[in-house]
Amino acid sequence: CVGSLDEKYNVDPKSPTTALASGFVANAERTLVRTLVSTNVNLNPFRFYVQYWAATDYPNESRYDLNTRSIPTGFWNALYRDCLRDLREAKANIPSDITIPAESKDNALAATEVLEIYTWATLVETYGNVPYTQALDFNTARPAYDDQARIYTDLIARLDVAISKFNPAANTGFFTTTASADLLNNNSTALWLKFANSLKLRMALIIADVDPAKAATMAAATTGKVLASNADVIDLAFNGTFPNTNPLYEDLVRSARTDFAGTSFFINRLKGTAGPVTGVVDPRLNDYFNPVTSTTQPAGTFTGGTYGSGNSKSLTSLPGTKLRGQTLPGVLMSYAQVEFMLAEARERGFAVGGTPESHYNAAVTASITEPQWGGTAAEAAAYLAEPTVAYATAGGPGATYKQKIGYQKWVALYNQPVEAWTEWRRLDYPVLTAPNTAISGIPVRLLYPVVEQNINGENYAQAASAIGGDKVETKLFWDKF
């Protein structure tokens, strides 16, 4: 009889009911990095939006068609359900997880919290108001949306708490029997602290236009604690075995598809035939893109395609070979990015040390010499010596720091597309225009997922109205200009 059956009869014998906390953290790290560096057209359209890439045969997404492929749902689900939920589970498990040494528990919790804050910040910077205080609770099927600025303020407060909890004397404690289970920072508490402080600097700059005083205090507090060299990169080294290969490899190589080409906007600027750095060939050009394959063109020709349109696969330059490796690391935060932030912070008068120019030079040098591109210091120096690149003269007379830093940061963030989009929205350079065939202006936020309209309609409507309309052109709270 049913009554006499083993009590586990209704428990799935093929799924675990206990787990390692480190497994949730590693899974969230993997998901987060994959989501942010992916070029999957169902998930991450940001290489289109900043006009690094154009489509070859299927241009709809580059015309800002978000919903045919449910892009907002894909991005939202990845961050909420697949990252944040696992990080919460990790936090619940860390205290009792015997594989994490007692002295590492605080670090483990703090590192998990930093990742959570990074993920939340990305959500807020992408959508605006989002569910926060009522989120991550299965009993609340229809969570209310919180005000974006208030969430951001809370995240900053939480970040300060997390930073204070790290104990530099111990590691972060995520181990398997044989190796580190921390895919991002290899259990280095020092690196987690640098990441946390760099994140703080980043969040300071996000709010710099709306709350300069707070931003100044925050930035100053990070002085000397941020990423300090290309060795400090916050990245995840993918391995050579699917499904843990770099998502770019999956979409560009494994799929055997040819969906993307460089835009003429970007490639002409890298070639020096357009834009602020005319006459100079960017040393990253032949890393970022491959020459065209058509035999009608001289060998080594780089040609961009028309953004928003379809493009020939043989007459335009396709994404570079260096992007196509299985083990290419996915970067969450780069040293170059931090140096650009410091340059900007100095321009804003924040007490972070150095000069705008010294940080700018360090940033450009770091970008060119990043291991995945492999440029040399000499190349970087030659590039920086060009008057159109050198900080004093870049952009011509009267060029603002936003112009100078904005342009170089845009070039440098090529393989950090979400960050590139955020920084373009914040710095507003280079000046991009929507193609004639676009169905909207250039997105400065993602729409809310259609599924939220279906199942959380009332809260959705309130949020849409609170931010000024659920449109891609609605600027978020920090995007003043």
Partner 1 sequence: QDRTISGRVTDRANGQGLPGATVLVKGTTVGASTNADGGFSLSVPSSATTLSVSSIGYTTVDQAIGAENTYTVSLAADVKQLGEVVVTALGQERTRNSLAFAATQIEGNQVTAARNPNAINGLSGKVAGVQIRQSNTMGGSTNVLIRGTKSITGNNQPLFVVDGVPISNANTNTSGQQTGGGGYDYGNAASDINPDDIATMTILKGAAATALYGERAGNGVILITTKKGRQGLGVTINTGVTAGRIDKSTFITYQKEYGAGYAPEFVEEDVDGDGVLDNVIDLAADASIGPRYDRNLQVYTWNAFQPGSPNFGKKQAWVAAENDPSTFFKTAWTTNNSVVIDGGNEKATFKLGYNNVRETGILPNSSIDKNIINFAGTLNLTSRLTASSSVNFSVVNGFGRYGTGYSGTYAENLMTNFRQWWQTNVDIKEQKQAYDYANLNASWNLTGPGSSTAQYWNNPWWSRYKSYENDSRYRTFGNVALTYKVTDWFNVLGRVTIDSNDDLQEERMAYGAVNISGYSRYNRTGREANFDLIGNFKANVAENLSFTGLIGANLRRESYKSIRATTNGGLVIPELYTLTNSFSPINPPVESETRRAVDGVFAAATLGFRDMVFLDLTARSDKSSTLPEGSNRYFYPSASLGFVFSEALKETTPWLSYGKLRANYAEVGNGATPYSIADSYDKPTAFGSVALFSVPSTKNNPLLKPERTKNAEIGVEAAFLNTRLGFEANVYQSNSIDQIIPINISTASGYSFRYVNAGDVRNRGVELSGFVVPFRNDNVTWTINANWTKNQNRVMSLFEGADNIVLTTYQGGVSSNATVGKPFGSIRGSNFTYLNGQKVVGTDGYYVPSATANEEIANPNPNWTGGISNTVSYKGISLYFLVDVRKGGQVFSLDRSYGLETGLTPETAGLNDLGNPSRNLIADGGGVIFPGVQADGTPNTVRAENSGYASDGAGGYDPTFATAYGTSFNPAAAFVYDASFVKLREVSLTYSLPKTLLAKVGGVKGVDFSIVGRNLWLIHKNLPYADPEDAVSSGNFGQGYSTGAYPAVRTVGANLRLSF
Mapped onto helix, strand or coil, the DSSP state of residue 130 is strand
Alpha-carbon distance of 64 to 431, in angstroms, equals 17
User: What is the C-alpha to C-alpha distance for residues 443 and 125, in angstroms, rounded to an integer?
Assistant: 12
- To partner 1, the closest distance from the beta carbon of 290 in angstroms equals 14
- Residue 376 interacts with partner 1 (CB under 8 A)? no
Indicate the residue among 80 and 360 with the shorter CB distance to partner 1: 80
Q: Does 254 bind partner 1 (CB under 8 A)?
A: yes
67 binding partner 1? (CB under 8 A):
yes
**Shortest Å distance, C-beta 27 to partner 1:** 4
Least gap, CB of 389 to partner 1 (angstroms):
30
Question: Taking CB under 8 A as the rule, does residue 58 contact partner 1?
Answer: yes
Residue 258 burial class via C-beta count within 10 angstroms: exposed 0-12, middle 13-18, buried 19 and up: middle
In this complex, which beta carbon is closest to partner 1, that of residue 89 or of residue 232? 89
**What is the x/- site pattern for partner 1, positions 11-50, by CB under 8 A?**
xxxxxxxxxx-xxx-xx--x--------------------
Q: For partner 1, which residue of 32, 46, 48, 89 counts as binding (CB under 8 A)?
A: 89
Considering the rule CB under 8 A, would residue 56 count as an interface residue with partner 1?
yes
Nearer to partner 1, 81 or 480 (CB): 81
The residue to which tokens 């995520």 are assigned: 174
98 binds partner 1 (CB under 8 A): no
Residues 6+ apart with CB under 8 A from 476: 124, 125, 128, 148, 425, 444, 445, 467
Return the number of the residue (18 or 164) whose C-beta is nearest partner 1: 18
Stretch near partner 1 under the rule CB under 8 A, chosen from 159-167, 405-413, 416-424, 453-461: 453-461
Contact between 453 and partner 1 by CB under 8 A: the answer reads: yes
For 77, list phi and psi in degrees, rounded to 5: -60, -40
Q: Which is nearer to partner 1, 243 or 441 (CB)?
A: 243
Based on the shown chain and the rule CB under 8 A, indicate whether residue 131 belongs to the binding site for partner 1: yes
**Given 95, 102, 229, 257, the residue binding partner 1 (CB under 8 A):** 257
From residue 94, how far is each of 183, 219, 480 by CA, in Å? Answer: 17, 31, 40
Tokens coding 132: 């926060």
User: Binding to partner 1 by residue 456, rule CB under 8 A?
Assistant: yes
> Does position 298 bind partner 1 by CB under 8 A?
no
Measuring CA to CA, how many Å separate 447 from each of 173, 371, 415?
Answer: 38, 35, 23
Interacting positions 266-295 with partner 1 (CB under 8 A): 293-295
Q: Torsion-angle region of residue 182: left (phi > 0), alpha (psi -120 to 50) or beta?
A: beta
The packing angle between helices 71-79 and 105-127, to 10°, is 160
Site for partner 1 in 177-216 (CB under 8 A): 178-181, 183
How many angstroms separate the Cα of 430 from the Cα of each of 98, 192, 425? Answer: 51, 32, 10
| CB 95, min distance to partner 1, A | 16
